[in-house]
Amino acid sequence: MSELEVQATLSRGERSRSRGRRVTPFEVLAVVVALFLLVAGLLPGLLAPGDPLGIDPAAAFQPPSPAHWFGTDESGRDIWTRVVHGAGTSLVIGFAATAIGLGVGLVLGTIAGMLGPAVDFSVNRLLEVLFAFPGLLLALLFILIFGPGVWTATVAVGLSASPGYARIIRGQLLAVRRSSFVEAATVLGRTRRQLLLRHILPNTLAPLFVLGTLGVGQAIVWASALSYLGLGAQPPAAEWGAMLSAGRTYLTTAWWMSFFPGLVIVLTAVAATVLGRAIERRARYA
Amino acid sequence: MLVHSAGGLFVLWAVATLTFFAVRLIPGDPAQAVLGGPGSQASPEALAAVRAEYGFDQPLLVQYLRELGRLATGDLGRSYALNMDVAPLLLAQLGGTLLLALLALAVAWLLALALATWSTLGGKTAWAVGSGIEITAAALPHFWLATALIILFSTWLGVLPPISTPGPVGLVLPVLTLAVPLAGFLGQIMRESFQAALESPFVLSARARGEGELGIRFVHVLRHAALPAVNLSGWAFGSLISGAVVVETIFARPGLGRTLLNAVTLRDVPVVIGVVLIVALAYILMTLVTDLAGALLDPRGRTA
């Protein structure tokens, strides 16, 4: 099982006490975080007018204060400004990696689910092999070959997630294929192409919104982990993982350098999980 | 069982093959890499010697078959950067990582169990709080949790060392870092299955017999609740390996994860392949054990 499959299973199995359309406080919080990220990603100047890379050595290592909400780093750069400007980077990485993962997963999953048992068998063996590179291992292998950097890290994260997507999509496809409305359409003499495009794919893709939401959160965390390890975005780029990594040296004297960028990563990940589940629940009880 | 083992061997072979051809995509001359990269200005004679020694001058197919032959005898080749054999190098690192991962797994199970028991005992509020704690814990990235724990326990309280010293004290923070997010996942799945089992007829009859709520949970419910969590072990293993890379780096703890990261950074190909193969083998064994444990816990899944 991949992390994504675990997440998907958890959000499907959730026997929340507040079913249906009631909005929980967690969900309100998640929407606020998501809106903040979108605004920060699209219009960072609105929330933080300063320059995320502008140095001011006289103001180095300032603790959090009204002038510098999140403090400053070793070159006097404002952490709040850098966190806000980092949102765009993280969102682009998160969405790009998810698009890659979903794209590859969709192709593999559709091939396996539609082209008969022999193809299904082969694709399943391939997925089994890919699952034997658990967690970040596939991403690390990819970076070994193509070298570190933001874009290799993004592609690496997307590819590592793709077997998980493929397996979920395949399962979904097979379930839809066996359902009675597809059987009815077959009896009515629809061609294979019509079946796939009109009936099967739309019903397979709807759950992908949930998966995608969960996936973006996970991709952002993984990409920032790679940056933290020095394999993704490089300092002084305003990327959350890279900022955390830069703060590592000053952990005992300037905790705010590591604490706040990490807090935003956690909030993003929690918000993605909560939103994914909220969509899932509403789709089920709609 | 036999089918499982054959499947496992196939996966292992495929992993080795995939990695062998994948690392051939690395741009540049592998002989240069052995001698320290393009910056080392190795002489043509030295390059030729290395090509002959490592077999880079042979056709690809010959190299591939040779590699398979070596791997089959447990020979993982020689590290480019460290100039020593990979197999003994990794074997020496394996113990530390295994200890870390197993301790983290045990602590995660205990935490998840405690949380699941508590949140199904305490009604609506406890359920919501438990769920919130678990979702947050599951979302904590290892690298930030480690940082936060170091700030809290080393910088502010000064009770635990910020780097992993030998001995049990140095293990506390690394194990907690790995265990808490895992407990978040395990806890969610356990709470759901706890609740499902609590609503089943056998619990009703136990209650009718007058058994206590806590006793019911440990005697009757646990076995049912454990199964879905056991099925997560394959994923948990991957998460622990990824986590070990981060945790061993942050806490400066020797182990497989840190060795892997260093090897990726230095492009020490044989070491990376060695770790990949060991992890794949461990993953396959883990899946086997999980299947067996599942059959032990749930007789319905057993085949004659």
Write the DSSP symbol of residue B110.
H
Mean pLDDT taken over chain B: 84
A30 CB-near residues (< 8 Å, 6+ apart) = A270, A271, A272, A274, A275, A278
Spatial contact of A29 and B135, defined as CB atoms under 8 Å apart: no
- Determine which of A90, A128, A137 to mutate to test the interface with B (most B C-beta atoms within 10 Å): A137
Q: Name the band, by pLDDT with cuts 50, 70 and 90, for residue B38.
A: low
Calpha distance B62→B112 (Å, rounded): 51
pLDDT score recorded for residue B3: 66
pLDDT score recorded for residue B129: 84
Q: Indicate yes or no: CB of B141 within 8 angstroms of CB of A224.
A: yes
- Nearest Cα residue to B26 out of A159, A153, A147, A151: A147
Chain B residues close to A9, C-beta within 8 Å: 189
Q: Which two tokens stand for residue B202?
A: 């056998």
| Per-residue model confidence as pLDDT tens digits over B237-255 | 888 888 899 999 988 889 9
Q: Which of B25, B188, B279 sits opposite A134 (nearest CB)?
A: B279
pLDDT score recorded for residue B1: 58
Angle at which helices B172-198 and B123-139 cross, to 10°:
140
Is A141 in the B-facing interface, judged by CB distances under 8 Å? yes
Instruction: Give the highest mean pLDDT range of A186-190, B25-29, B107-111.
Output: B107-111
Average pLDDT estimate for B177-191: 89
Q: Which of A134, A144, A248 sits opposite B238 (nearest CB)?
A: A134
- Judged against a pLDDT cut of 80, whether residue A9 lies above it is answered with no
The chain B residue lying nearest A2, using CA atoms, is B235
Burial class of residue A161, CB neighbours in 10 A (0-12, 13-18, 19+): buried
- Judged against a pLDDT cut of 70, whether residue B266 lies above it is answered with yes
- Determine which of B15, B144, B191, B260 to mutate to test the interface with A (most A C-beta atoms within 10 Å): B144
- Judged against a pLDDT cut of 90, whether residue A20 lies above it is answered with no
Q: Indicate yes or no: CB of B246 within 8 angstroms of CB of A225.
A: yes
Q: Indicate yes or no: CB of A134 within 8 angstroms of CB of B154.
A: no
Q: Indicate yes or no: CB of A273 within 8 angstroms of CB of B283.
A: no
Chain B residues close to A259, C-beta within 8 Å: 147-148, 151
Average pLDDT estimate for B270-298: 85
Q: Indicate yes or no: CB of B147 within 8 angstroms of CB of A259.
A: yes
- Judged against a pLDDT cut of 70, whether residue B78 lies above it is answered with yes
List the 43-72 stretch of A: residues with Cβ below 8 A of B.
none
The chain A residue lying nearest B262, using CA atoms, is A229
The chain A residue lying nearest B249, using CA atoms, is A229
List the 24-43 stretch of A: residues with Cβ below 8 A of B.
26
List the 126-155 stretch of B: residues with Cβ below 8 A of A.
127-128, 131-132, 135-136, 138-144, 147-148, 150-151, 154-155
Neighbours of B235 (CB within 10 A): 22
Chain B residues close to A26, C-beta within 8 Å: 132, 135
Average pLDDT estimate for B126-132: 83
Please, which residues bridge with residue B78 across strands?
Answer: B85
Of A240-254, B43-57, B192-206, B287-301, least confident by mean pLDDT is: B287-301
Query: In one letter, which amino acid is B272?
Result: V
pLDDT score recorded for residue B232: 80
Query: Phi, psi at residue A78, to the nearest 5°?
Result: -80, 120
Calpha distance B109→B116 (Å, rounded): 10
- Among left, alpha and beta (phi > 0; psi -120 to 50; other), residue B3 is alpha
- Judged against a pLDDT cut of 90, whether residue A200 lies above it is answered with no
Decide: helix, strand or coil at residue A78: strand
| Per-residue model confidence as pLDDT tens digits over A40-55 | 888 888 887 878 887 7
The model's pTM is 0.87
Calpha distance A104→A159 (Å, rounded): 8
Average pLDDT estimate for B205-215: 82
Q: Specify the higher pLDDT residue, B107 or B139.
A: B107
Length of chain B: 304
Is B72 in the A-facing interface, judged by CB distances under 8 Å? no
pLDDT score recorded for residue A99: 95
Q: Specify the higher pLDDT residue, A85 or B233.
A: A85
Average pLDDT estimate for A152-174: 91
Chain B residues close to A252, C-beta within 8 Å: 154-155, 162
List the 73-112 stretch of A: residues with Cβ below 8 A of B.
none
- Determine which of A136, A231, A252 to mutate to test the interface with B (most B C-beta atoms within 10 Å): A136
Neighbours of B224 (CB within 10 A): 18
Is B266 in the A-facing interface, judged by CB distances under 8 Å? no
pLDDT score recorded for residue A121: 92
Q: Which of B15, B22, B260 sits opposite A129 (nearest CB)?
A: B15
Angle at B115 between CA A19 and CA A135, to 5 degrees: 85
Is B6 in the A-facing interface, judged by CB distances under 8 Å? no
Q: How many CA atoms lie within 13 A of B242 on its CB side?
A: 30
Q: Indicate yes or no: CB of A134 within 8 angstroms of CB of B242.
A: yes
Residue A39 CA, chain-centre distance (Å), reads 18
Average pLDDT estimate for A101-109: 93
Calpha distance B150→B136 (Å, rounded): 19
Instruction: Give the highest mean pLDDT range of A46-60, A263-277, B38-52, B68-82.
Output: A263-277
Is A9 in the B-facing interface, judged by CB distances under 8 Å? yes
Calpha distance B250→B257 (Å, rounded): 11
Spatial contact of A196 and A258, defined as CB atoms under 8 Å apart: no
pLDDT score recorded for residue B304: 43
Average pLDDT estimate for B132-155: 88
Calpha distance A69→A240 (Å, rounded): 16
Spatial contact of A152 and A146, defined as CB atoms under 8 Å apart: yes
Q: Name the band, by pLDDT with cuts 50, 70 and 90, for residue B303.
A: low
- Judged against a pLDDT cut of 70, whether residue A169 lies above it is answered with yes
Q: Which two tokens stand for residue A34?
A: 């998501």
Domains present along chain A, CATH in parentheses: 94-231+250-284 (1.10.3720.10)
Instruction: Give the highest mean pLDDT range of A175-184, B220-229, B294-303.
Output: A175-184
Calpha distance A128→B150 (Å, rounded): 38
Q: Which two tokens stand for residue A280?
A: 């899932």
Q: Indicate yes or no: CB of B139 within 8 angstroms of CB of A269.
A: yes
Is B11 in the A-facing interface, judged by CB distances under 8 Å? yes
Spatial contact of B186 and B229, defined as CB atoms under 8 Å apart: yes
Q: Which of B132, B141, B188 sits opposite A221 (nearest CB)?
A: B141
Average pLDDT estimate for B263-283: 88
Average pLDDT estimate for A125-142: 88
